[in-house]
Structure 1
Amino acid sequence: MASRWVRPEVYPLFAAVGVAVGICGFQLVRNICINPEVRVNKQTRAAGVLENFSEGEKYTEHLLRKFSRNRSPEIMPTINSFFTDPSRN
Protein backbone atom coordinates (compact mmCIF):
# COMPACT_ATOMS: atom_id res chain seq x y z
CA MET A 1 0.00 0.00 0.00
CA ALA A 2 2.82 2.46 0.81
CA SER A 3 4.50 1.86 -2.55
CA ARG A 4 1.30 3.00 -4.20
CA TRP A 5 1.59 6.53 -2.75
CA VAL A 6 5.36 6.94 -2.60
CA ARG A 7 6.19 7.26 -6.27
CA PRO A 8 8.58 9.74 -7.88
CA GLU A 9 5.62 11.56 -9.44
CA VAL A 10 4.31 12.42 -5.97
CA TYR A 11 7.52 14.06 -4.68
CA PRO A 12 6.69 17.54 -6.09
CA LEU A 13 3.31 17.36 -4.39
CA PHE A 14 4.96 16.42 -1.10
CA ALA A 15 7.40 19.30 -1.54
CA ALA A 16 4.65 21.84 -2.28
CA VAL A 17 2.53 20.72 0.67
CA GLY A 18 5.62 20.68 2.90
CA VAL A 19 6.51 24.26 1.92
CA ALA A 20 2.92 25.41 2.51
CA VAL A 21 2.81 23.75 5.94
CA GLY A 22 6.20 25.26 6.78
CA ILE A 23 5.04 28.78 5.85
CA CYS A 24 1.85 28.37 7.88
CA GLY A 25 3.81 27.04 10.84
CA PHE A 26 6.30 29.90 10.64
CA GLN A 27 3.52 32.49 10.57
CA LEU A 28 1.75 30.81 13.49
CA VAL A 29 4.88 30.77 15.63
CA ARG A 30 5.73 34.34 14.61
CA ASN A 31 2.28 35.59 15.62
CA ILE A 32 2.22 33.73 18.92
CA CYS A 33 5.73 34.79 19.93
CA ILE A 34 6.17 38.39 18.79
CA ASN A 35 2.82 39.84 17.71
CA PRO A 36 1.91 42.65 20.13
CA GLU A 37 -1.82 41.97 19.68
CA VAL A 38 -1.57 38.32 20.80
CA ARG A 39 -1.35 37.74 24.54
CA VAL A 40 -0.84 34.17 25.69
CA ASN A 41 -0.24 34.47 29.42
CA LYS A 42 -2.87 35.67 31.86
CA GLN A 43 -1.04 38.76 33.15
CA THR A 44 -0.73 40.41 29.75
CA ARG A 45 -4.32 39.48 28.82
CA ALA A 46 -5.55 41.28 31.93
CA ALA A 47 -3.89 44.49 30.77
CA GLY A 48 -6.68 45.09 28.22
CA VAL A 49 -6.05 47.16 25.11
CA LEU A 50 -2.53 48.50 25.00
CA GLU A 51 -1.63 51.44 22.81
CA ASN A 52 1.96 50.47 22.24
CA PHE A 53 2.52 51.85 18.76
CA SER A 54 6.31 51.43 18.74
CA GLU A 55 6.04 47.67 19.34
CA GLY A 56 3.41 47.36 16.60
CA GLU A 57 5.59 49.35 14.22
CA LYS A 58 8.54 47.08 15.00
CA TYR A 59 6.42 43.99 14.29
CA THR A 60 5.04 45.37 11.04
CA GLU A 61 8.30 46.73 9.62
CA HIS A 62 10.27 43.49 9.52
CA LEU A 63 13.49 42.97 7.53
CA LEU A 64 11.86 41.53 4.40
CA ARG A 65 9.50 44.50 4.12
CA LYS A 66 12.35 46.97 4.63
CA PHE A 67 14.43 45.14 2.00
CA SER A 68 11.69 45.12 -0.63
CA ARG A 69 10.26 48.59 -0.02
CA ASN A 70 12.33 50.54 -2.57
CA ARG A 71 12.62 47.77 -5.16
CA SER A 72 10.53 47.43 -8.28
CA PRO A 73 7.73 44.86 -8.01
CA GLU A 74 9.19 42.73 -10.80
CA ILE A 75 10.63 39.26 -10.59
CA MET A 76 13.32 39.80 -13.24
CA PRO A 77 13.69 43.57 -13.77
CA THR A 78 16.78 43.27 -15.99
CA ILE A 79 15.06 40.98 -18.48
CA ASN A 80 11.87 43.07 -18.36
CA SER A 81 13.76 46.29 -19.10
CA PHE A 82 15.70 44.55 -21.89
CA PHE A 83 12.51 43.60 -23.73
CA THR A 84 10.39 46.67 -22.94
CA ASP A 85 12.81 49.61 -22.96
CA PRO A 86 12.31 51.48 -26.29
CA SER A 87 15.73 53.17 -26.07
CA ARG A 88 17.46 49.79 -26.57
CA ASN A 89 16.05 49.38 -30.09
Structure 2
Amino acid sequence: MAANRWIRPEVFPLFASVGVAVGICGMQLVRNITGNPDVRVTKQNRAAGVLDNFSEGEKYSQHTLRKFVRNKSSQIMPSVNNFFSDPK
Protein backbone atom coordinates (compact mmCIF):
# COMPACT_ATOMS: atom_id res chain seq x y z
CA MET A 1 0.00 0.00 0.00
CA ALA A 2 2.83 2.43 0.78
CA ALA A 3 4.52 1.60 -2.53
CA ASN A 4 1.35 2.57 -4.39
CA ARG A 5 1.30 5.90 -2.57
CA TRP A 6 4.94 6.90 -3.19
CA ILE A 7 5.80 5.35 -6.53
CA ARG A 8 3.78 7.56 -8.83
CA PRO A 9 4.93 9.76 -11.70
CA GLU A 10 3.87 12.87 -9.76
CA VAL A 11 6.43 12.14 -7.02
CA PHE A 12 9.47 11.74 -9.31
CA PRO A 13 10.35 15.48 -9.33
CA LEU A 14 10.37 15.40 -5.53
CA PHE A 15 12.72 12.42 -5.57
CA ALA A 16 14.95 14.18 -8.09
CA SER A 17 15.16 17.44 -6.12
CA VAL A 18 15.88 15.64 -2.86
CA GLY A 19 18.49 13.51 -4.63
CA VAL A 20 20.22 16.60 -6.04
CA ALA A 21 20.22 18.26 -2.61
CA VAL A 22 21.69 15.16 -0.95
CA GLY A 23 24.30 14.94 -3.73
CA ILE A 24 25.36 18.56 -3.24
CA CYS A 25 25.62 18.06 0.53
CA GLY A 26 27.67 14.89 0.04
CA MET A 27 29.97 16.60 -2.45
CA GLN A 28 30.59 19.50 -0.05
CA LEU A 29 31.22 17.08 2.83
CA VAL A 30 33.81 15.14 0.82
CA ARG A 31 35.41 18.39 -0.35
CA ASN A 32 35.74 19.66 3.22
CA ILE A 33 37.07 16.39 4.62
CA THR A 34 39.65 15.90 1.88
CA GLY A 35 40.75 19.43 1.07
CA ASN A 36 40.03 21.81 3.93
CA PRO A 37 43.27 22.69 5.77
CA ASP A 38 41.35 23.22 9.03
CA VAL A 39 39.90 19.69 9.07
CA ARG A 40 42.23 16.99 10.34
CA VAL A 41 40.96 13.42 10.26
CA THR A 42 43.99 11.43 11.41
CA LYS A 43 45.26 11.51 14.97
CA GLN A 44 48.78 12.49 13.88
CA ASN A 45 47.50 15.57 12.04
CA ARG A 46 45.25 16.58 14.93
CA ALA A 47 48.23 16.51 17.31
CA ALA A 48 50.01 19.13 15.18
CA GLY A 49 47.87 21.93 16.64
CA VAL A 50 47.19 25.18 14.83
CA LEU A 51 49.20 25.53 11.65
CA ASP A 52 49.77 28.72 9.70
CA ASN A 53 49.35 27.29 6.22
CA PHE A 54 48.40 30.43 4.35
CA SER A 55 49.28 28.99 0.94
CA GLU A 56 47.20 25.87 1.57
CA GLY A 57 44.25 27.96 2.76
CA GLU A 58 44.54 30.20 -0.29
CA LYS A 59 44.56 27.15 -2.54
CA TYR A 60 41.43 25.80 -0.83
CA SER A 61 39.46 29.05 -0.88
CA GLN A 62 40.39 30.12 -4.42
CA HIS A 63 39.25 27.00 -6.25
CA THR A 64 38.87 26.73 -10.04
CA LEU A 65 35.18 27.68 -10.17
CA ARG A 66 35.83 30.86 -8.21
CA LYS A 67 38.77 31.71 -10.48
CA PHE A 68 36.57 31.15 -13.53
CA VAL A 69 33.76 33.48 -12.40
CA ARG A 70 35.99 36.11 -10.76
CA ASN A 71 35.87 38.67 -13.59
CA LYS A 72 32.47 37.73 -15.00
CA SER A 73 29.38 39.90 -14.75
CA SER A 74 27.08 38.95 -11.90
CA GLN A 75 23.99 39.60 -14.01
CA ILE A 76 21.99 36.70 -15.38
CA MET A 77 20.97 38.40 -18.64
CA PRO A 78 23.19 41.48 -19.01
CA SER A 79 21.98 42.40 -22.51
CA VAL A 80 18.35 42.57 -21.37
CA ASN A 81 19.28 44.48 -18.21
CA ASN A 82 21.35 46.99 -20.19
CA PHE A 83 18.55 47.44 -22.72
CA PHE A 84 16.05 48.46 -20.03
CA SER A 85 18.36 50.32 -17.66
CA ASP A 86 20.79 52.30 -19.84
CA PRO A 87 19.40 55.60 -21.14
CA LYS A 88 19.81 56.29 -24.82
Task: Normalising by structure 2, report the TM-score.
Answer: 0.90
* Structure 2: distance between partners of 1:81 and 1:27: 35
**Farther off after superposition, 8-17 or 75-84:** 75-84
Residue 16 of structure 2 corresponds to which residue in structure 1? 15
Aligned residue in 2 for 1:27: 28
1:79 alignment partner in structure 2: 80
Residue 39 (1) aligns with residue 40 (2): yes
Shift of 1:86: 2.4
Q: Tell me which amino acid in the other structure corresponds to 2:86.
A: D
Residue 56 (structure 1) shift = 0.2
In structure 1, what is the Cα distance between the partners aligned to 2:4 and 2:86?
A: 53
TM-score when normalising by structure 1:
0.89
Provide the residue aligned with 1:5 in structure 2.
Answer: 6
Deviation at 1:81, TM superposition (A): 2.1
Match of 2:70 in 1: 69
Structure 2 unmatched ranges of 5 or more? none
More displaced 10-residue stretch of structure 1: 55-64 or 8-17: 8-17
Once the two structures are TM-superposed, the CA of residue 45 in structure 1 deviates from its matched residue by: 0.6
For 2:33 and 2:54, locate their aligned partners in 1 and report how far apart those are by CA, in whole Å. 18
Alpha-carbon deviations, 1:16-74, whole Å to 9, x = none?
Answer: 11111011000000000010000000111110000000000000000111111111111
Matched-pair identity in % = 72
